[in-house]
Amino acid sequence: MAREQEAGGSLPRLFVTGSTGELGRIVIGKLLERVPADRIVAGVRSPDHAVAKQFAAQGIKVRVADYTQPDTLSAAFAGIGRLLLISSSSTGDRVTEHGNVIAAARSAGVTLLAYTSLLHADTSPLGLREDHRRTEAALKASGIPFVLLRHGWYMENHMASVPPALAYGAVLGCAGEGRFWTAARIDYAEAAAVVLASDGHAGHTYELAGDQGYTLADLAVTIAEVAGKPVVYKDMAVANFKGALIGMGLPDEVADLIADADVSASRGGLEDDGRQLSALIGRPTTPLRQMVEQAISGA
């Protein structure tokens, strides 16, 4: 394991914001594989959350850290060396929420802030890019040593389409022949844990994506092979795809997000073959077929 001491000689305490969320709880688990529990601090909105109680039972310090409540952040970050800012899932003003975290981290003297940004945020065609660009700019202006963990598309987003694909024999989308270089949530979480628990990452921008890209037609073929049922890819006009998603019960904003990702993929916006993620975690990223097998076994 890489040397982890701060300038003063003591081992830094590691803080994970949004730790009860899907990504945060996996980051905590990966940190536990690398450092003692008493070095980890889990940021939660409520200590009464079931996952927060599990953390406490494992010997992890739990502190209230609400992105929308700056006073909680100032108290939560006291004595923290390295902090992971997991991008807010809020549909409101995410940039202000991120700014609250950055300001509190600066006041608390945090020595490294890692932020889960967007793959190629500076050039991405995704509609999500602007919030990430503005947060990255705020980080650069803060004076805090930081590292950007730019996440590609999550493979779990596509696994949600497995049950309907099995039911109706088709994967729906509007990506054409665009390729998605996705990775599993556990891959991104492990990368965050590596960055928090080891030295030498300040100033780096990591473009994190899967080792192999695939089209939605490839996804359909993989589902068909694993399930032993005919599944095809049906490419649709953007408006029709959004309508289909809404018809399946998804909220308008989620349908917009998924359709926007497909359009971006069709323009090459979700491609990255640099394999920085597998290099960072020291293993190949999770294969598509493995994720499809898990999705089908749980369907």
Each residue's pLDDT tens digit, 236-282: 999 999 999 999 899 998 999 999 999 999 999 999 999 999 999 99
> How many domains, the chain?
2
pLDDT digits (tens, 9 = 90+) for 67-111: 999 999 999 999 999 999 999 987 678 999 999 999 999 999 999
Side chain identity at 63, as an amino acid letter?
A: R
Same domain, 168 and 248: yes
Same domain, 52 and 170: no
pLDDT digits (tens, 9 = 90+) for 121-158: 999 999 989 999 999 999 999 999 999 999 999 999 99
Determine phi and psi for 232, rounding to 5 degrees: -125, 165
In-domain check, residue 62: yes
pLDDT digits (tens, 9 = 90+) for 192-207: 999 999 999 999 999 9
Same domain, 292 and 163: yes
Which is nearest to 288 in space by CA: 217, 233, 192, 223? Answer: 223
Same domain, 108 and 59: yes
pLDDT digits (tens, 9 = 90+) for 43-61: 999 999 999 999 999 999 9
- Reported as a pLDDT band with limits 50, 70 and 90, residue 5 is very low
User: Is residue 59 a contact partner of residue 53, using CB atoms and an 8 Å limit?
Assistant: no
- Reported as a pLDDT band with limits 50, 70 and 90, residue 6 is very low
Range scoring the smallest mean pLDDT among 1-10, 26-35, 226-235, 269-278: 1-10
Same domain, 173 and 293: yes
Residue 299 has pLDDT above 70, yes or no: no
Same domain, 165 and 147: no
Same domain, 103 and 228: no
In-domain check, residue 281: no
What span, in angstroms and rounded, lies between the C-alpha atoms of 239 and 196?
A: 42
Instruction: Record the tokens describing residue 280, joined without a space.
Output: 């960072």
Same domain, 45 and 140: yes
Domain boundaries, position 258: 158-179+211-272+286-297
In-domain check, residue 194: no
Long-range contacts of 223-231 (CB under 8 A, 24+ apart): 223/162, 223/165, 223/166, 223/171, 223/292, 223/296, 225/289, 226/289, 226/292, 226/293, 226/296, 227/166, 227/296, 229/166, 229/169, 230/169, 231/165, 231/166, 231/169, 231/170, 231/171
CATH code, domain carrying 74: 3.40.50.720
In-domain check, residue 197: no
Same domain, 89 and 166: no
Residues with Cβ within 8 Å of residue 159, at least 6 apart in sequence: 291, 292, 294, 295
